[in-house]
């Protein structure tokens, strides 16, 4: 099935979501090419295994309608049947344009897909990840929005062999008048092998220093529940869950987190889950590999002392 992956460049690199989709396409031996959207110069987004066209905006204009027009032409000229995109802001906008152009419904929040006898079945996650359903897609052009962390990211050797296309602004372009790039330090939530997340069971924000100390000792990234983000203990960018980030580390340590489904959907696929909660009935224990029934304020200092 001829396929096109809509990718993205962040910080001059292919985004992790793009690399995940490329890994899946390689696993299924799809005949695929990649188009990448970004606005900075980059040297490492091409690959010997696939062709990559880099759509680079020529100014501080976000011109997704022009990108969508170019993608539409690419799809038509190359008889593309399957378009895969990460479920990011840009991916969702572009897929929306294409769904209108090709009069076809996209399938969103896809966590896996299978192709057998040239028929495509997408596995879709609903109700905050509580239920899954399968859809067979019969349209000529199939548009899938892939949920981040659905596929393992395998090693791909990238090089500078890619074609660049400048996207011109037009009257529909949106003016980007300010870009705020959040300063990041230490291990990042999406990529870290260990994530330690805090919930309301840390009792008050000043106790987060215990979690920070533990994270420093384990070289871990720090996450949090929506409850503590809403309470202003942590920035939104640290929120794990349905309306936050999806993480899939080797070890996820939940400190004082009840384990609401909306939180679980963002972390339940972690390899090992360790939970500390004083309530032995807390739902987080149902998905934990190791559970510590105890007070976070006495358990975490002991861990810090002994590590
Ligand atoms: C549409 C929607 C989207 C949402 N999206 C998200 C999301 O993306 N991410 C998310 O996290 N939530 C999300 N939520 C909120 C979610 O439903 C929960 O309210 C939230 O996850 C609860 O956070 P919490 O576990 O920190 O708090 P609580 O549910 O209050 O749990 C606190 C836990 O700490 C334990 N505890 C208390 N004191 C201690 C102590 N001293 N030592 C040990 N344990 C202690 C308690 O036993 C309890 O289990 C969403 C909700 C909705 C409706």
> DSSP string spanning 188-237?
-TTT-SEEEEE-GGG-SGGGHHHHHHHHHHHT-EEEE-HHHHHTTSS-GG
Query: What residue segments make up the domains of the chain, in order of their start?
Result: 2-175, 194-306
| 237 alpha carbon – ligand 1 mean position (Å) | 17
How many residues are given for the chain? 307
Residue nearest to atom 7 of ligand 1 (CA): 241
Looking from the CA of residue 258, the nearest atom of ligand 1 is 49
Cβ of residue 264 lying under 6 Å from some atom of ligand 1: no
Residue 126 near ligand 1, beta carbon < 6 Å: no
Q: Is 189 in the pocket of ligand 1 (CB under 6 A)?
A: no
Query: Among residues 36, 33, 28, which one has the least CA distance to residue 49?
Result: 33
CA distance 76 to 199: 49
pLDDT for position 187: 85
How far, in Å, is the centroid of ligand 1 from the Cα of 230? 11
In angstroms, rounded to a whole number, what is the distance separating the alpha carbons of residues 80 and 94?
A: 16
Is the Cβ atom of 201 under 6 angstroms away from ligand 1?
yes
**CA 27 to ligand 1 center in whole angstroms:** 37
Query: Hey, is 10 helix, strand or coil?
Result: strand
Best mutation site among 202, 239, 241 for ligand 1 pocket (most ligand atoms within 8 Å of CB): 241
The CA 286 to ligand 1 mean position distance, Å, reads 15
* pLDDT tens for each residue of the chain, 307 residues long: 999 999 988 777 888 899 999 999 999 999 999 999 887 778 889 999 999 999 887 666 667 888 899 999 999 999 999 999 999 888 999 999 999 999 999 999 999 999 999 899 999 988 777 788 999 999 999 999 999 889 998 888 999 989 988 887 777 667 777 767 677 777 889 889 999 999 999 999 999 999 999 999 999 999 999 999 999 999 999 999 999 999 999 999 999 999 999 999 999 999 999 999 999 999 999 999 999 999 999 999 999 999 9
Distance CA 85, CA 146 (A): 6
How far is ligand 1, taken at its centre, from the CA of residue 202, in Å?
11
For the Cβ of 245 lying below 6 angstroms from any atom of ligand 1, the answer is no
Q: Whose structure tokens read 């239920």?
A: 131
For residue 75, which of 90, 56, 95 has the smallest C-alpha distance? 95
What is the rounded CA–CA span in Å between residue 200 and residue 205?
Answer: 9
| Ligand 1 midpoint to CA 20 (Å) | 29
Q: What is the pLDDT of residue 7?
A: 93
**Phi–psi pair at 78, nearest 5 degrees:** -105, 10
Alpha-carbon distance values, 280 to 254, 256, 284, 293, 295 (Å): 14, 11, 9, 6, 11
**Tokens matching residue 162:** 């890619």
Ligand 1 atom with least separation from CA of 199: 26
Q: Is residue 244 lining ligand 1, measured as CB closer than 6 Å? A: yes
Query: Do the two domains 2-175 and 194-306 of this chain adopt the same fold?
Result: yes
* CATH superfamily to which 194-306 belongs: TPP-binding domain (3.40.50.1220)
What's residue 179's pLDDT? 67
Out of 3.40.50.620, 3.40.50.2300, 3.30.1490.20, 3.40.50.1370, the CATH code matching 2-175 is 3.40.50.620
Structure confidence at residue 61 (pLDDT): 66
Among 164, 135, 37, residue whose Cα is nearest residue 95: 37
Cα dist. 264→106, 108, 162, 247 in Å? Answer: 26, 19, 39, 10
Give the span between the Cα atoms of 39 and 9, in whole angstroms: 8
7: its two tokens: 């990718």
Asked whether 246 lines ligand 1 (CB < 6 A), one says no
């Amino acid at each position: 099935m001829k396929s096109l992956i809509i990718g993205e460049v962040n910080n001059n690199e292919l985004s992790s979501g793009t690399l995940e989709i490329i890994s899946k396409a390689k696993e299924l031996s799809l005949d695929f090419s990649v188009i990448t959207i970004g606005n900075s110069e980059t040297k490492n987004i091409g690959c010997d295994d696939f062709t990559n066209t880099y759509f680079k905006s020529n100014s501080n204009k976000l011109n997704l309608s022009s990108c969508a027009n170019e993608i539409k032409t690419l799809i038509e000229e190359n008889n593309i049947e399957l378009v895969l995109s990460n479920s990011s802001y840009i991916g969702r906008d572009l897929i929306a344009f294409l769904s209108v152009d090709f009069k076809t419904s996209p399938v969103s929040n896809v966590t896996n897909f299978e192709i057998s006898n040239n028929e495509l079945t997408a596995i879709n996650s609903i109700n905050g990840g509580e239920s899954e359903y399968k859809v067979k897609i019969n349209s000529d052009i199939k548009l899938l929005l892939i949920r981040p962390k659905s596929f393992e990211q395998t090693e791909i050797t990238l090089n500078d062999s890619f074609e660049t296309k400048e996207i011109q602004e037009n009257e529909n372009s949106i003016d980007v008048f300010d870009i705020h790039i959040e300063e990041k330090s230490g291990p990042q939530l999406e990529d870290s092998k260990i994530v330690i997340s805090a919930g309301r069971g840390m009792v008050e924000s000043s106790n987060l220093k215990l979690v920070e100390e533990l994270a420093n000792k384990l070289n871990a990234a720090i996450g949090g529940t929506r409850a503590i983000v809403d309470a202003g203990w942590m920035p939104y960018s640290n929120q794990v869950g349905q309306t936050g980030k999806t993480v899939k580390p080797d070890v996820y340590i939940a400190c004082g987190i009840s384990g609401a489904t909306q939180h679980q959907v963002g972390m339940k696929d972690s390899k090992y889950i360790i939970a500390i909660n004083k309530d032995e009935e807390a739902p987080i224990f149902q998905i934990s590999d190791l559970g510590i029934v105890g007070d976070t304020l006495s358990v975490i200092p002991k861990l810090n002392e002994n590590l």
